[in-house]
Amino acid sequence: MRIRGGRRQKNQLELAFIPQGRGETSPGRTGGTEAPRAIQVCQGPAATDLLMEEVCDPGNLKRALQRVRQNQGDPGVDGMTVQALRVYLGDHWSEIRSQLLEGSYKPRPVKRVEIPKPGGGWRKLGIPTVLDRLVQQAILQVLQKQWDATFSEHSYGFRPHRDAHQAVARAQEIVAQGYGWVVDIDLEQFFDRVNHDRLMARVAERVTDKRLLKLIRAFLNAGMLEDGLVRPTEEGTPQGSPLSPLLSNLVLDELDRELEKRGLPFVRYADDCNIYVRSERAGQRVMKGISVFLTRKLRLKVNATKSAVAKPSGRKFLGFSFSAGPVPKRTIAPQALVRFRRRVVELTGRNRGISLERMIRDLVEYLRGWIGYFGFCERRTELRDLDGWIRRRLRSAVWKQWQNGRRRYRELCRLGVKADLAERVAGSSRGPWPMSLTVAMSQALSNRYLRNLGLLCLETWSPA
């Protein structure tokens, strides 16, 4: 809709989202620009034939649009950005809505990209177009509302009001109850190996709206653009699409029910599943039985080289480990510490050629996210050691930047070091790393000085 001069009305998008057609208009509506939802919300696994109307509900779509804009993300195969989506919807929403309600909407292929895994290797992601992301998000909001309450209480990944910290805390409780062995099962390329027919059979048990079933199948089979060629997708739910986590939980709900039926304590976060037993022998038996179940029943492949039966202190779960002893404590897994140190080395490189202030700003941006997650650990000595190491990295970088004895002497004096001490160390031939431990550098770049520049203290950090 346009007005004179070609200017778009402010509320064009809102008007475009006003429902038209069956199942969406409340008979008792008396006014306003947005109709209240008239679709009866399903409870539990039961479904309705009008789910697509609920997907297209204006309020649901606005929430989906807000989430897509919050998540940002790269453009898909059509090049449309998140910022351009709102204008596009204002021009084309009526047509898109009709396609959804008629069952003729056709998703575009997803764009294949690879990002490095924290532990090495590459993770393959599939990036849908922003329009397809909006539609998937709208579907997710409707289905998750119905399905979530039916999932196992032992499942924590990609669910409302549940997170990784809760999963780790639950695992810690189980270990503290005397379950001294863990069956750590790693699924090989899980998101790329989900069988479409089995998945759609599970979806059809909960959804009777044939338009929605057809659309979900279309998203699964949309194809993948890689190296300039579109290849068909005959299995898998690409990581990067809003629907993928919910569908993966639906697939692995069968595993949850099997473990519950066998009476095994476990915690699952997405495809990361830890099962707890009281002996190594029991663990080997469970590993064999569950591997057969996953392979034959769910048609998934267990990565034998990454799966193991071991003491919880020797394995990692969502980046954490547990200390040995009768009262297990949450600790940061060694692999997570290695990745952390590697990233800090990059950010505090002596040859970056940037000021100390800029270096600390870049570093703090990373530290906030890291400590926001790993601050959940209970052994604070690890954080104290990291604090000292980070400060030494910064002092080492600054010493290297000062380049020569004359400048080092001048800078040390400027930062409050006494002249005789500054003179003794300024001409040293020792390298930046040993010089970072000297009294002079500790005085010049004191802990307080670095804090005043914005450096976080990991040991005492609090989100409040």
Query: Tens of pLDDT along 151-189?
Result: 999 999 999 999 999 999 999 999 999 999 999 999 988
Distant-in-sequence contacts of 2-5, Cβ < 8 A, 24+ apart: none
Confidence of residue 227 (pLDDT cuts 50, 70, 90): low
Q: Is the pLDDT of residue 129 over 60?
A: yes
Confidence of residue 224 (pLDDT cuts 50, 70, 90): confident
Give yes or no for a contact between 110 and 222, defined as CB atoms under 8 angstroms apart: yes
Confidence of residue 125 (pLDDT cuts 50, 70, 90): confident
Residues of the chain above pLDDT 90, percent: 72
Task: Report DSSP letters for 121-173, one per residue.
Answer: SEEEEEE--HHHHHHHHHHHHHHHHHHGGGS-TTB-TT-TT--HHHHHHHHHH
Question: What pLDDT is attached to residue 121?
Answer: 67
Calculate the average pLDDT of the chain.
87
Q: Is the pLDDT of residue 134 over 80?
A: yes
d(CA 156, CA 268) in angstroms, rounded, equals 6
Confidence of residue 124 (pLDDT cuts 50, 70, 90): confident
Question: What pLDDT is attached to residue 49?
Answer: 72
The CA-based dihedral angle spanning residues 16, 21, 25, 28, taken in that order and rounded to the nearest 10 degrees: 130
d(CA 67, CA 85) in angstroms, rounded, equals 12
Residue 149, burial from CB neighbour count under 10 angstroms (0-12, 13-18, 19+):
exposed
Confidence of residue 16 (pLDDT cuts 50, 70, 90): very low
Q: Is the pLDDT of residue 141 over 70?
A: yes
- CA-CA distances (angstroms) from residue 447 to 14, 83, 192, 222, 267? 54, 43, 48, 55, 41
**Selection from 427, 345, 353 nearest residue 394 by Cα:** 345
DSSP, collapsed to helix, strand or coil, labels residue 42 as: coil
Give yes or no for a contact between 187 and 301, defined as CB atoms under 8 angstroms apart: yes
Q: What value does the mean pLDDT take over residues 14-31?
A: 39
Q: Is the pLDDT of residue 259 over 70?
A: yes
Confidence of residue 73 (pLDDT cuts 50, 70, 90): confident
* Prediction pTM value: 0.83
d(CA 113, CA 136) in angstroms, rounded, equals 19
Q: Between 416 and 120, whose confidence is greater?
A: 416
Question: What pLDDT is attached to residue 326?
Answer: 87
Question: What pLDDT is attached to residue 232?
Answer: 72
Q: Between 30 and 289, whose confidence is greater?
A: 289
